[in-house]
Amino acid sequence: MEHDNIYLTNLRDEKQNMWTGLANYFRKRSMWMLYYCTGCGAIELPPTMTSRYDMERLGMGPMATPRQADLLLITGYLSVKTLKRVIWSYEQMQEPKYVVGFGSCPINGGIYWDAYPVINHLEAFMPVDMSIAGCMPRPQAIIDAFEKLMDEIQQGKAVGYKRYRKHYDWYKRNQDLVLNRQSAVLTPYVDPFASMPTAAELMAQESEDSHV
Amino acid sequence: MSPLFLLLLVVMPVGFGLVSLALPKRLSWFLFFFVNILVLGVVFKLKSSTGLTWDLKFNLFSTGAVSLKLAVTHLGWFFLAISSVATILFSMFSLDFNDRKHATFAAPFWMILIGATNGIFLSQSWIAFFFAWELMSWTSLLIIGHGKTPSFKAGIYYYALSFFGTMAMMAGIWLLYHRTGSWDIATTTLRIAADFTTHRSFAMTVTALFAVGFLAKSALFPFHMWPQMAHAEAPDDFSAYLSGIMIKYGIYGLALFVIPVFAMTPKGTMKIISGVPWPMYALAWISAITSVIGTVMAIFTNDMKRLMAWSTVANVGYIGVALSTNSSLGYAAALFHTANHMIFKGSIFAALAAVKFRTGEREMHKLGGLAYVMPITFMTFLLGIIAAAGIPPLSGFNSKWMIFQALFEKKMVFVATVIFFSSTGAFLYLFRALHTVFLGQLSPRFRHVKEAPMLMSFSMIILMILMLIPGIFPGTVTGFFNNILASFGFAPIKTTLNSMTGSTASINGTVIAAVFGLAVLIVFIMFLLGARQHKVAMMDNYTCGEDPEDWKVGPERYHYGYDFYQPIKPLFAWMPLGAVEKLYETLRRSIERFGNLVSSISADGSRLGWTFVIGILIIIVTGVMK
Amino acid sequence: MNAHALTALKLTGIAFGAMSLGLLFMGLGRIVSARIQRRIGPPFYQSFIDVIKCFTKTSITHNFVMDLGIIMALGGLIATAFFVPFANFSVLGSSSVVIVLYLMSIGYLGMAMGVSASGNPNATIGISRALALMLGYKIPFVMVIMAMILTYNSSDLLTYALAQNHGFGSWHIFKYPLGFIAVEIAFQAMVGEKPYDHMIAPAEIASGPMVELSGKYLGIGFLLHAVQLYVETGLIVNLFLGGAQTWYIMMVKMFAVYFTTMCINAVMARYRIEQGIRHLWIWAGSFALLQLVYTRIWG
HSE at residue B203, side-chain half, CA atoms within 13 A, is 22
Yes or no: say if C81 and B523 are a contact pair by the CB < 8 Å rule: no
CA C145/CA C179 separation, integer angstroms: 9
Domain that holds residue B79: 1-125
Q: How confident is the model at residue C223 (pLDDT cuts 50, 70, 90)?
A: very high
Give the tens place of pLDDT for each residue, A80-115. 888 888 888 898 888 888 998 888 888 877 888 777
Q: Do residues C58 and B531 touch, judged by C-beta distance below 8 A?
A: yes
**Strand ranges (DSSP E) for chain A?**
32-36, 61-62, 71-75, 98-102, 130-132
Which of B100, B125, B150 is the last residue in one of the domains? B125
Nearest CB neighbour to B567, from listed C102, C132, C292: C132
B43 domain-assigned:
yes
- Residue C226, pLDDT score: 93
- Whether the CA torsion A96, A102, A105, A107 is positive or negative: it is positive
Instruction: Please give the interface size between B and C, counted as residue pairs whose CB atoms are below 8 Å apart.
Output: 244
Q: What pLDDT is stored for residue C174 in this prediction?
A: 85
pLDDT of amino acid C41: 86
C100 within 8 A of B391, measured Cβ to Cβ: no
Q: Does the CB of C214 have a partner CB in chain A at under 8 Å?
A: yes
Q: Say if C215 is an interface residue toward chain A (CB within 8 Å).
A: yes
Q: What is the pLDDT of residue C258?
A: 92
Cβ separation A88–B545 shorter than 8 A? yes
The winner for highest mean pLDDT among B84-93, B181-190, B552-561 is B84-93
Closest residue by Cα to residue B381 from B348, B428, B359: B348
- Chains with at least 3 CB pairs less than 8 angstroms from chain B: A, C
Counting the structural domains of chain B, the total is 2
- What is the DSSP secondary structure assignment for residue B586, as one 8-state letter? H
Q: Where are the beta strands (DSSP E) in B60-147?
A: 65-71
If pLDDT is split at 50, 70 and 90, which confidence band does A204 have?
low
CA nearest B485: which of B344, B339, B336, B343? B336
To the nearest whole Å, the CA of A65 is away from the closest chain B CA by 7
Question: How much of chain B exceeds pLDDT 90, in percent?
Answer: 9
Residue B79 resides in a domain: yes
Q: How many helices (H) and strands (E) does chain C have?
A: 13, 1
CB A65 to CB B547 under 8 A?
no
- What is the tens place of the pLDDT at every residue in B201-210? 888 888 889 8
Burial class (CB in 10 A: 0-12, 13-18, 19+), A162: middle
Give the orientation angle of helix C121-152 with respect to helix B395-409, to 10 degrees: 40
Asked if A67 lies within 8 A of C41 by C-beta distance, the reply is: no
Q: Virtual CA dihedral for C194, C200, C203, C205, nearest 10 degrees?
A: 140
pLDDT mean over A156-184: 81
Q: What CATH number was assigned to the domain covering residues A3-208? A: 3.40.50.12280
Which has the minimum average pLDDT: B130-144, B344-358, B491-505? B491-505
pLDDT, tens only, C2-39:
888 888 888 888 889 999 999 999 999 999 989 998 88
In order, the DSSP letters of B529-578 are HSPPEEE--TT----TT--GGGGT--TTTT---TTTTGGGGGGGTTS-TT
pLDDT bucket at C298, cuts 50 / 70 / 90: confident
Task: Specify the higher pLDDT residue, A210 or A116.
Answer: A116
Q: State whether the Cα torsion B383-B386-B389-B393 is positive or negative.
A: negative
Contacts of A73 in chain B (CB under 8 A): none
Residue B515 has pLDDT above 70, yes or no: yes
pLDDT at B587 over 60: yes
Using the predicted structure, report yes or no on whether residue A190 has a pLDDT greater than 60. Answer: no
Residue A64, min C-alpha distance to chain C (Å): 5
Note whether residue B2 is domain-resident: yes
B103 or B62, which is more confident: B103
Which of A1-5, A66-70, B403-407, C183-187 comes out lowest in average pLDDT? Answer: A1-5
ipTM attached to this prediction = 0.92
Establish if A88 touches chain B: CB-CB under 8 angstroms.
yes
Query: In the beta sheet, which residues pair with residue B277?
Result: B272
Whether residue B161 is predicted with pLDDT greater than 60 in this model: the reply is: yes
Domain segments of chain C as ranges: 3-298
B-interface mutation test, from C113, C145, C224, C294, most B Cβ less than 10 A away: C113
CA distances from C196 to C129, C263, C285, C288 (A): 10, 14, 15, 19
Domain parsing of chain A, residue ranges: 3-208
Q: What is the pLDDT of residues B18-30, one digit of tens each?
A: 888 888 888 888 8
Q: What per-residue confidence (pLDDT) applies to A6? A: 44
Other CB atoms within a 10 A radius of the CB of residue B581 amount to 12
- Give the end of a domain, one of B81, B101, B125: B125
pLDDT band at residue B382, thresholds of 50, 70 and 90? very high
As a whole number of Å, the CA-based R_g of chain B is: 25
Decide if B568 and C274 are in contact by the 8 Å CB cutoff: yes
Q: How far does Cα C179 stand from its chain's mean position? A: 18
